[in-house]
Amino acid sequence: MAEIVIVDSVETAGEVAADAVQRLVAERVDAVLGLATGSTPVPLYRALERRVAAGGLDLSKLRGFALDEYVGLPEGHEQSYASVIRREVVEPLRLDASSVHVPDGRPQQIETAGARYEAQLQEAGGIDLQILGLGTDGHIGFNEPGSSFASLTRVKTLTEQTRRDNARFFASADEVPLHCITQGVGTILRARHLLLLAFGEGKADALAAAVEGPLTASVPGSAIQLHARVTVVVDEAAASRLARADYYRYAWANKPAWQGV
C-alpha cells in the first residue's frame, strides 16, 4: 500500500516532499529526479529553493527528467514545459541545465521523440524518485483515462477537461495544445520511488479513485497501487474523500523514525 501522508497545509507538504528529495541526494549526489510541472509541485520546489539558498543543500549534480511536454508550442514559449522547468526548477534550485531533460515536443521529429526519451532515461539508469501531480480526471503525467498501464513515452491527445484545467496558464482554452508527449504509465512505474502530491478539494475524487478505487486504466493514477514504494502527500481538502483517512493518519503518527519518508 502506498504511504499516505495527510498534512495541514501545502507548505508542510512541500517540506515533507523536500525531505524525501534531500534524503535521496544525501545517498547519491547525482540521483535522478523525475520532475512534474503544473501548480502542484511548486511548494516542493520552493522548499528546495529555500534549502539551497540557505546553503544546506547542493543539487548541482542532481539529474532530472520531466514527465511531459506540449507538442507544437513555438520554441521558447513561456508555457512550454522546457521553459517552466528552467524557470521553476533549474534556475532556482541551481541544477546543471545540461543534466535536465524534457521530452522533445517539436512536431518535425515527434514520431521518434518517445523512443529517444526512453533511451535517454535508460542511459541515465532510470528515475530514482518520480514526483507526480494528479489531474482532476485521474491522469498522471499526461496519461489520460484509458492509457495502458504498460505504455511508454509517446504522444497523447489531451482531454477537453485537461485543456480547460490548464487554460489558466494560457490566454484561453483554445491556446492549450491538443497534443502532448508524456512518459507512459509503464515508464512511471519503472521509477524506484513515486511521490504523488495532490492539493485542494478539486483533486479529492481523483485522489480517492487513484488510492482506494479499483485498478483501472480509466483512472491512470490507480496504477500507483501496482508500485511497491509510493508516498502520497496531500492536504486535508484533497484527502476529504479517502475512506481510510483515519488509518493513514494513525500509521503516519506511529511511523518508526528510522524509516523516513
**Secondary structure string (H, E, C) spanning 81-123:** HHHHHHHHHHHHHCCCHHHEECCCCCHHHHHHHHHHHHHHHHH
The residue (of 120 and 244) whose beta carbon lies closer to ligand F6R is 120
Contact flag: residue 40 with ligand F6R (CB under 6 A): yes
Contact flag: residue 140 with ligand F6R (CB under 6 A): yes
The residue (of 26 and 173) whose beta carbon lies closer to ligand F6R is 173
Q: Does the annotation mark 137 as catalytic?
A: yes
Q: Does the annotation mark 101 as catalytic?
A: no
Q: In this structure, which amino acid lies at residue 19?
A: D
Q: What is the biggest distance separating any 2 CA atoms in the chain, rounded to whole angstroms?
A: 53
Contact flag: residue 83 with ligand F6R (CB under 6 A): no
Q: Identify the active-site residue in 49, 69, 88, 139.
A: 139
What CA–CA distance (Å, rounded) separates 156 from 228?
27
What CA–CA distance (Å, rounded) separates 95 from 63?
8
The residue (of 4 and 67) whose beta carbon lies closer to ligand F6R is 67
Q: Give yes or no for a contact between 133 and 224, defined as CB atoms under 8 angstroms apart.
A: no
> CB of 47: closest distance to ligand F6R in angstroms?
16
Contact flag: residue 38 with ligand F6R (CB under 6 A): yes
User: What residues make contact with ligand F6R under the rule CB under 6 A?
Assistant: 36-40, 67-68, 133-135, 139-142
Active site residues: 68, 137, 139, 144
